[in-house]
């Protein structure tokens, strides 16, 4: 499956071999941010993604937080890119039209004797270049966030902390890259990367791909690809984080992102509103072996339930609408690895992108693009489109505009997902726009249909029907999230159908 503006090059006896200037492995937020920045230049660029859509790995299952940048070690790449990424976010969100809000974050200190640790964190933040940091007294903290535990000793307030929709951010970056000529090849798993004479050969499960430069944005698999081309091995540990997502009724329980001061109580979990008005609680942090281990666990849920209330009181855990788990790509050195290994020129890592990876993505994108621009002597292209419009949600519009929209396109007058009030018009747009949705999860990430309290119980059959009609495929082909995740396994009365189809064929003959 390929979505993009250029055509395949057919060579040999029906075997596809394509030579790109740059191949990016992985269509997560990092890969898409890099693709978008590179799409400013004249180059033949392709993103290879093993899943059927962008944003299918770590990017889809995280805290959705734009970190202020006081956490990372001074002088680290992490600290620099975090603060830089944070600063870029307002403009990027505006240009690409995705939801982002600076709701501010609070690091809560529960014990007086830990206040010096809070102070140190604040000072580190200042040195990292974080603006507006302030230590709040108990009274100030409770005024800002009334549902904090009354026993709070103090809090670090970071006004630049924010929340974002990681799906829409990744999708926006990808769509914009696609509009600017980057090709996306989904359901394409890279099996091996091999150095050749002046280029790299990537063997995929859909044929060979050749590229002069390769960007490794493969998330928890980045070490695998890196180690294929470099003797300086890196090692990534999937670090599992489990989350609860609560109903919108609970979405105003806190208005800031509330962290617990790392300390004697362990790392703790954060409690935050999401840009869509839900409440998120998490993550846990457990190192595992399995790079596919995105299952939630009883232990993880118990941990969340036990730790959720440490900093914030009375969290209505009865209103959990779903729980999920994501894997952070934790590199042994706990630092972003960005650049070419010295023994693998032309192969650019963007590895070890764990938290604050989402925040840093725009800065990582710029950094990698700049690196390749210099190395490849890339020229800016004419007609780069910097702006992208998101899917219009009619209910966000003033009434007159709503009515006009429905008059022009009645599909906007039909609600398909009741819980999130998503219209048919939005779903059709999600399917037909660049890098469009092809699965229920693809629709969900783009429109929120199925993300509400009924978790797609009502709208799934409707959305399947729309996907079937618009993509001209059988309902049996519709998947939840690509691969073998088919929703239905067959039609009823299959034997009857075959017979009636046969009859009608005979009739035609």
The binding site for another protein (CB under 8 A) comprises 245, 292, 294-298, 300-301, 320-324, 395, 399, 402-403, 406-407, 410-411, 413-415, 418-419, 421, 453-458, 460-461, 465, 475-476, 479-493, 495-497, 499-500
What are the angstrom distances between the C-alpha of 367 and each of 168, 254, 349, 361, 363? 22, 35, 11, 10, 6
d(CA 175, CA 109): 41
Active site residues: 67
Beta carbon nearer to another protein, 492 or 509: 492
279: DSSP letter: E
By DSSP bridging, strand 190-195 and strand 200-204 are: antiparallel
CB of 363 to another protein, least distance (A): 31
Beta carbon nearer to another protein, 262 or 309: 309
CB of 279 to another protein, least distance (A): 13
Q: Are 276 and 165 in contact (CB under 8 A)?
A: yes
Q: Are 495 and 489 in contact (CB under 8 A)?
A: no
Beta carbon nearer to another protein, 161 or 326: 326
What burial class does residue 189 get, using C-beta atoms within 10 Å of its C-beta: 0-12 exposed, 13-18 middle, 19+ buried? middle
CB of 487 to another protein, least distance (A): 6
CB of 140 to another protein, least distance (A): 33
Which long-range contacts (C-beta less than 8 Å, at least 24 apart) are formed by 370-379? 371/338, 371/339, 371/340, 372/22, 372/38, 372/213, 372/215, 372/348, 373/41, 375/213, 375/340, 375/346, 376/21, 376/22, 376/43, 376/212, 376/213, 378/38, 378/41, 378/42, 378/43, 379/41, 379/42
Q: Are 257 and 272 in contact (CB under 8 A)?
A: yes
Beta carbon nearer to another protein, 156 or 449: 449
d(CA 439, CA 475): 11
Beta carbon nearer to another protein, 159 or 413: 413
CB of 171 to another protein, least distance (A): 20
CB of 307 to another protein, least distance (A): 15
The β-bridge partners of 417 are 422
Beta carbon nearer to another protein, 73 or 485: 485
């Amino acid at each position: 499956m390929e979505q993009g503006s250029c055509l395949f090059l057919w060579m040999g006896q029906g075997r596809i071999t394509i030579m790109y200037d740059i191949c990016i492995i992985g269509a997560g937020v990092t890969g898409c941010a890099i693709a978008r920045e590179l799409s400013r230049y004249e180059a033949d660029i392709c993103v290879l993604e093993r899943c059927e859509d962008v944003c299918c790995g770590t990017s889809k299952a995280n805290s959705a937080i734009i970190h202020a940048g006081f956490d990372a070690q001074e002088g680290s790449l992490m600290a620099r890119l975090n603060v830089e990424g944070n600063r870029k976010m307002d403009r990027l969100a505006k240009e690409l039209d995705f939801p982002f809000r600076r709701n501010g974050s609070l690091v809560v200190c529960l014990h007086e004797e830990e206040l010096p640790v809070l102070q140190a964190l604040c000072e580190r933040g200042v040195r990292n270049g974080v603006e507006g940091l302030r230590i709040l007294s108990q009274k100030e903290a409770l005024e800002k966030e009334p549902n904090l535990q009354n026993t709070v000793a103090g809090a670090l307030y970071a006004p630049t902390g924010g929340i974002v929709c990681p799906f829409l951010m990744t999708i926006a970056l990808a769509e914009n890259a696609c509009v600017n000529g980057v090709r996306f090849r989904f359901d394409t798993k890279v099996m091996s990367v091999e150095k050749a004479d002046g280029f790299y050969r990537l063997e995929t499960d859909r044929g060979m791909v050749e590229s002069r430069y390769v960007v490794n944005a493969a998330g928890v698999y980045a070490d695998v690809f890196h180690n294929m081309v470099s003797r300086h091995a890196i090692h990534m540990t999937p670090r599992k984080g489990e989350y609860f997502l609560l109903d919108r009724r609970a979405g105003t329980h806190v208005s800031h992102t509330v962290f617990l001061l790392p300390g004697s109580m362990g790392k703790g979990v954060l409690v935050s509103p999401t840009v869509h008005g839900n409440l998120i609680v998490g993550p846990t942090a457990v190192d595992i072996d399995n790079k596919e281990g995105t299952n939630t666990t009883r232990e993880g849920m118990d941990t969340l339930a036990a730790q959720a209330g440490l900093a914030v009181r009375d969290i209505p855990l009865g209103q959990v609408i779903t729980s999920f788990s994501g894997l952070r790509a934790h590199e042994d050195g706990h630092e972003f690895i960005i650049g070419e290994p010295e023994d693998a020129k032309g192969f650019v890592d963007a590895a070890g992108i764990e938290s604050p990876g989402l925040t840093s993505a725009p800065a990582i994108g710029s950094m990698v693009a700049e690196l390749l621009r210099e190395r490849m002597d890339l020229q800016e292209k004419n007609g780069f489109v910097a702006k992208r419009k998101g899917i219009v949600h009619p209910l966000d519009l003033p009434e007159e505009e709503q009515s006009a929209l429905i008059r022009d396109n009645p599909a906007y007058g039909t609600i398909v997902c009741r819980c999130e009030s998503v219209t048919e018009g939005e779903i059709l747009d999600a399917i037909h726009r660049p890098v469009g949705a092809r699965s229920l999860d693809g629709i969900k990430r783009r429109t929120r249909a199925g993300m509400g309290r009924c978790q797609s119980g009502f709208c799934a059959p409707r959305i399947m029907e729309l996907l079937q009609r618009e993509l001209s495929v059988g309902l049996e082909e519709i998947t939840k999230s690509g691969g073998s995740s088919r929703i239905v396994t067959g039609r009823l009365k299959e034997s009857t159908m075959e017979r009636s189809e046969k009859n009608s064929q005979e009739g035609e003959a």
